[in-house]
Structure 1
Amino acid sequence: MNYTPVKEIGRGGFGIVHEVLGDDGNRYALKVLNPAAFQQQDHAMLFRRFEREVRYQQMVDHPNVVPVLAHNLTAKPPSFVMPLAAGSLKDDLEADRTLCGAPKKPLFDILAGLEALHRRGLRHRDLKPANVLKFPQDNGSVLYSISDLGLTTPGVGQTSTLTGSNMAGGTPMYRAPECANNFRRATEQADIYSFGAILHDIFGGGVGRVPHAELTVAGALKPIVEKCTKAQPRRRYASIAALREDLFNVLDNTAIQFFSQEEEDVIQVLKENNDLNDEEWDRVFNLIDDNADKGISNRNIMRILSLNHIHSIHNSSPDMLHGLGEIYSEYAISDQFEFNYCDIISDKAQVFFDLGDLSLKAKIALAMLQLGTSHNRWRVEWQFIRMAGHDCDPALADRIRMEVVARDLPFEDWMHHIEASIDVKPDRLHPTLQTLLAGAG
């Protein structure tokens, strides 16, 4: 397809972005390398970085990472085409630093995009509001996606020697301190530092910010921002899942309505302690059983259950993990949940899946299939595909098949939804599970 330039819409890093009109009548964004802004000795490095941006951005198929629709890497200068954004998080912050008091959508979209990169062993290394683009959706919502992956991963022997503006490796106000002198040291925790700086923009107004500093804000976000931006990377969050859990708990304004005084007391115990002793766990399970006998939902307990709690029960009483995991799998399909909360559920479900036996793994996988399709949550749908794909243990695939048949689950309907939602064909499933679909040989 040919693209006709309409206007220049931005410059940054090492490219110029134009709005263009495609032959199909739709408008796109065309990013073109701008070697003229750099000295001649930097051009070879510049071309490698630009090509790397295109290659990596193509390989990360995720709604919260901006896709590459087309490219021409042999042109002089090279270019690639992306969807046309309606703006960026930087624009939103300049319009209203608090994001109208509703920051959850962009923040959780950023975390989902970072997680997609990290799962593939990639680091963004230049995360900042200008690199988070905004795309209106047909249903009236907005999707935020990460762009500008030119600094995603270091090449062998690469040093921070480019002489153009902002090419020494990231943007100082968002760059982790360990990357200031040696950009090859960037880990996933460098991206977490940058995310903490974005939190500081929103909840601290960016006030008093100096490059590479440990940051803080007032209020409930204080410990999260401080942990994200620790000078020592090992003291930051170890994973996106752990960061997402803490952030959601602070930003969630759901009021808990307790069913009994005992439930209120038990939830307080869970809130105050991530590593319960045997007596405390017995109290939790007694309440769970008592609620079940009375027909009372255990949703309050399941909601407060943390990633650390799941590891704690596995370490102290592994036999009890299975029972707790089964209850959690039932909770995951028990209600309609807030969109972002689906990610919190799936993070905890993943731990149960990783630590559980064959039976629990099958129940968790099917719960994620039902949760993802019922909420149209792409991330959770992909989670099921990873659990039940070609790399799935044959014994687990057979156990999932048994569960589907025994419980008469609408597996084929769910898979039709996944195919339409995330464009995953049935042949991505383990062969044993493909036999559950009509027309399977």
Structure 2
Amino acid sequence: MKRRLKIGELFDNRYEVINELGGGGFGKVVLVKDLEKKGVMTALKYCYIEENVDEDEFLRRFSREIRIMETIESKNVINIIDYKIDREISYFTMPIAKYSVSEIIPELILNQDRALHVFKEICLGIISIHNSGFTHRDIKPENALVFEEDRIVVSDLGLAKFDVRDSTMLTKANIIMGTTDYLAPEQLTLGGTQQADKKVDIYQLGKTLYNILTHQRPLTMDLKSIPAGLRFIIQKATRHNPNERYQTVEEIVDALNDYIRATNVGINSKYVYEEQVKIVEGDINYGGEDINNTLRLIDLYDKEQDEERLIQMLHDTPDIIIKFLGDKFSEDMERILKKYSEAVKKFAQDYPFSFAEVVGYTMRTLFYNTRSGYLKAYAITSVLTSSVDLNRFAGMHIFNELLMSVKDDEDAFIIADTLKEHRYYYERIVDQVAKRDLHPAIQIEWERSGGN
């Protein structure tokens, strides 16, 4: 069919076209009123053939999409109501969704629990597709529809293929098909789409999870803002080597459930934290560091909403773990230390004088065991603000020690910039260290803060 349906026309003597809903795969989708079913509203996808396109291939692919949809029975995969296939007019009808997942991502990034529920529902749909012997090959939020009660349904199987060799072999060896931002590396090679298997779907699920959590294009992914446990899932799902990814979608769901259980601490948060600390400490002491155990601990810090509780958790963390986190997980700790530093500045005056020393000892351990300039900056300013607010000379001494130890140029510029933001505090103790004992970049801020 080479013409587009127009709003208001009567299609196939049965469907009144009400509105255009979009396109997908190898056709256009419109909202129609089914006059044979007392005006029931439904979505109709018809085979719309562009110019300069192999018409026979389009028709075969459209027919295959219908066959696949007929085969799969799942509440998480779009089902077919009616269809008609011939050269002049090919279409099928399906239930009407409220919207696609892509349209609610601005809401999902504000509600991680709902976002993970939506993603798990997408995974369940893909599991049903795989169990029926097919590979989707075009997974993305736009191809997941939201129905009542947040039921998520995977749609648009226009690029789906049989896992066994498809007798039609519709995809030419020199054609790359799919959505660029979500394509697995193997799909980007000539013939890659033709040979794509379930591991391509796993890769695309990883990209989809990233998009749902960040509302950012997944072509290149910046994972810093994503909680450690979820970042690990995304990284493993999107490994360049297919054999290093999760091998089934069920494994992704299991990993997601583990993350949810590990971070949904509820009223037992103190117990869960203490138990996780013991596990990680045991891993380190016996040289068998398990990245998943450490990531679960980081997630507990990350999800803690009570700022004073976060302070206490870090202060209760053994030095051996603080050193390990600073050395091996600096990016995660930057995010957590930012929250910690802001909390210390906010609450320090409510604590006894000894609080400044505890901050100093904990932050000194972290400072000397990380290569991250930003992590050092958050650590040193935490010591500065707590010791000044509580007028605690032992804390000031630790701050001065750390400040004089800065030798790396990059660290110095980062810390100098942080001191500028906390000049009110630095002015109070700037003369405790001589200018000559500081890195040149910090000397400038020393001068601006009134050093003599």
- The TM-score with structure 1 as length reference comes to 0.53
Cα 1:205–1:185 change in 2 (3 A) is same
Q: Does 1:174 align with 2:182?
A: yes
SS at match of 2:46: strand
Equivalent AA in structure 1 for residue 204 of structure 2:
S
Cα 1:215–1:79 change in 2 (3 A) is farther
2:197 corresponds to which residue? 187
2-side partners of 1:222 and 1:92: how far apart? 21
Residue deviations 1:107-144 (CA, integer Å, cap 9, x gap): 111011010011122110011111101111xxxx1211
SS at match of 2:93: strand
- Counterpart selection for 1:235 from 217, 221, 244: 244
- Counterpart selection for 1:32 from 41, 46, 64: 46
2-side partners of 1:14 and 1:248: how far apart? 35
Q: Number of residues paired by the alignment?
A: 261
1:254 corresponds to which residue? 264
The structure in which a higher percent of residues are helix is 2
- Counterpart selection for 1:144 from 149, 152, 155: 152
Cα 1:75–1:223 change in 2 (3 A) is same
Most deviating of 180-189 and 169-178: 180-189
Mapping of residues 316-335 of structure 1, within 5 Å: none
Q: Using the TM superposition, give the Cα deviation of residue 99 of structure 1 relative to its aligned residue in structure 2, in angstroms.
A: 5.6
Residue deviations 1:164-183 (CA, integer Å, cap 9, x gap): xxx83211111111112221
- Counterpart selection for 1:48 from 48, 52, 60: 60
Q: Does 1:73 align with 2:85?
A: yes
Q: Using the TM superposition, give the Cα deviation of residue 264 of structure 1 relative to its aligned residue in structure 2, in angstroms.
A: 7.4
Q: What is the percentage of aligned positions where both structures have the same residue?
A: 26
Equivalent AA in structure 2 for residue 200 of structure 1:
Y
Q: Using the TM superposition, give the Cα deviation of residue 9 of structure 1 relative to its aligned residue in structure 2, in angstroms.
A: 1.3
Q: Does 1:86 align with 2:86?
A: no
Q: Does 1:222 align with 2:236?
A: no
Cα 1:267–1:60 change in 2 (3 A) is farther
Q: Indicate the RMSD between aligned Cα atoms, in angstroms.
A: 3.3
- Maintained 8 Å contact 1:215/1:226: no
Cα 1:99–1:18 change in 2 (3 A) is farther
Q: Using the TM superposition, give the Cα deviation of residue 184 of structure 1 relative to its aligned residue in structure 2, in angstroms.
A: 2.2
- Maintained 8 Å contact 1:72/1:79: yes
Which runs of 5 or more residues in structure 1 are unaligned? 274-441
SS at match of 1:200: helix
Cα 1:160–1:52 change in 2 (3 A) is closer
2-side partners of 1:224 and 1:271: how far apart? 23
1-side partners of 2:271 and 2:76: how far apart? 42
2-side partners of 1:228 and 1:108: how far apart? 14
- Maintained 8 Å contact 1:258/1:264: no
Cα 1:146–1:99 change in 2 (3 A) is farther
Cα 1:268–1:145 change in 2 (3 A) is farther
Cα 1:54–1:257 change in 2 (3 A) is same
1:5 corresponds to which residue? 17
Equivalent AA in structure 1 for residue 206 of structure 2:
G
Residue deviations 1:400-437 (CA, integer Å, cap 9, x gap): xxxxxxxxxxxxxxxxxxxxxxxxxxxxxxxxxxxxxx
Cα 1:162–1:265 change in 2 (3 A) is closer
Point out the structure with max Rg over C-alpha: 2
- Maintained 8 Å contact 1:197/1:215: no
- Maintained 8 Å contact 1:214/1:230: no
After superposing on structure 2, the runs of 4+ consecutive aligned residues of structure 1 that deviate more than 4 Å are 159-163, 256-273
- Maintained 8 Å contact 1:17/1:30: yes
- Maintained 8 Å contact 2:187/2:196: yes
1-side partners of 2:269 and 2:32: how far apart? 58
Which runs of 5 or more residues in structure 2 are unaligned? 1-12, 284-452
Residue deviations 1:278-307 (CA, integer Å, cap 9, x gap): xxxxxxxxxxxxxxxxxxxxxxxxxxxxxx
SS at match of 1:30: strand
- The TM-score with structure 2 as length reference comes to 0.52
1-side partners of 2:253 and 2:119: how far apart? 9
SS at match of 2:145: strand
Equivalent AA in structure 1 for residue 16 of structure 2:
T
Q: Using the TM superposition, give the Cα deviation of residue 90 of structure 1 relative to its aligned residue in structure 2, in angstroms.
A: 1.3
Q: Using the TM superposition, give the Cα deviation of residue 55 of structure 1 relative to its aligned residue in structure 2, in angstroms.
A: 0.5
Q: Does 1:197 align with 2:211?
A: no
- Maintained 8 Å contact 1:11/1:17: yes
